[in-house]
Amino acid sequence: MEYEPKYTVVLRGQEFVLTKSQIEFDSPNYFTACFLGDFQEAQTKRLELSRNPDLFKLIVEYLCGYEILPLDDKSVPSSMPLEAGLRNLRADALFYQLKGLVKSCDNMAQSHGRSIPSNKLFMAIGYTVGFPIMTDDDPSKIMLDRLHLLKYAMTPEKSWTTIVTPGKLARMGELQLPEAFIDFEGLQIVSGIEILAREVVGDYYQKGWKLIGWRFQPTDIHPGGHKTEVLIVLEDMRCNCKQSFQ
């Protein structure tokens, strides 16, 4: 039997092995560009990313030619609702440039009446803080005391905002979603995120916007200690989606 090259993809410390036939499935894509192009990964046959390893298990199945939709409770992490799982899977499909999977996700969302209009707008709110917000032992767990400190630092003058389309939003990567935080501590976290958004843009809910997710991304250690990139995303719920935030 002829030897088939293998490639290693590492996501948050978890290793996945893909064959050449897998990365060529639904190509050209991110994997063929990295492993079969002129990038360093073509020599090392190793790629390290910070994407979600649980969702990547679905990507691996898809690259084997298997049907992975519709999702069920066993397909996604227990803390991720099915609707959020479909949105996050689509975001990963866009990142990996898997056009067939993106189309399948869109068809599934449309069949459930959850397709996103192409003229829908989102607001990204960003800030970089000079201390960690996530715990060391669990990078997905937020420290409430640090979250409360943020409201004193995250002011309109020090933060930035920009309007993005659904396509750009999908390429921004995975977000933590409010609907996944349903216990007492989780509700406190959602409330804290809402406060941060209001500190920057005012009463966004009254202006027709809704909180849909956030991400805290630790950056490399610098001479002064840790830094964390804060991203909060609001969705425009108004009928006139082309109206600017005022």
Which among 111, 133, 158 is the end of a domain?
Answer: 111
3-state DSSP of the chain: CCCCCEEEEEECCEEEEEEHHHHCCCCCCHHHHHHCCCCCHHHHCEEEECCCHHHHHHHHHHHCCCCCCCCCCCCCCCCCCHHHHHHHHHHHHHHCCCHHHHHHHHHHHHHCCCCCCCCCCEEEEEEEECCCCECCCCCCCECHHHHHHHHHHCCCCCCEEEEECHHHHHHCCCCECHHHCCCHHHHHHHHHHHHHHHHHHCCCCCCCEEEEEEEEEECCCECCECCEEEEEEEEECCCCCCCCCC
103 and 127 belong to one structural domain: no
Position 60 scores a pLDDT of 96
Which among 91, 111, 131 is the end of a domain?
Answer: 111
Position 137 scores a pLDDT of 65
Name the band, by pLDDT with cuts 50, 70 and 90, for residue 243: very low
187 and 219 belong to one structural domain: yes
Residue with the larger pLDDT of the pair 32 and 108:
32
Name the band, by pLDDT with cuts 50, 70 and 90, for residue 127: very high
232 and 126 belong to one structural domain: yes
- The domain spanning residue 60 has which CATH number? 3.30.710.10
92 and 178 belong to one structural domain: no
| Structural domain total, the chain | 2
Q: Is the pLDDT of residue 195 over 80?
A: yes
Name the band, by pLDDT with cuts 50, 70 and 90, for residue 139: low
17 and 97 belong to one structural domain: yes
Report the pLDDT averaged over residues 41-57: 92
pLDDT digits 0-9 by tens, 70-94: 888 888 877 778 888 888 898 889 8
138 and 83 belong to one structural domain: no
Does residue 10 lie in a domain region?
Answer: yes
The whole domain housing 54 covers 6-111
Does residue 44 lie in a domain region?
Answer: yes
**What is the model's pTM?**
0.55
Name the band, by pLDDT with cuts 50, 70 and 90, for residue 246: very low
Does residue 64 lie in a domain region?
Answer: yes
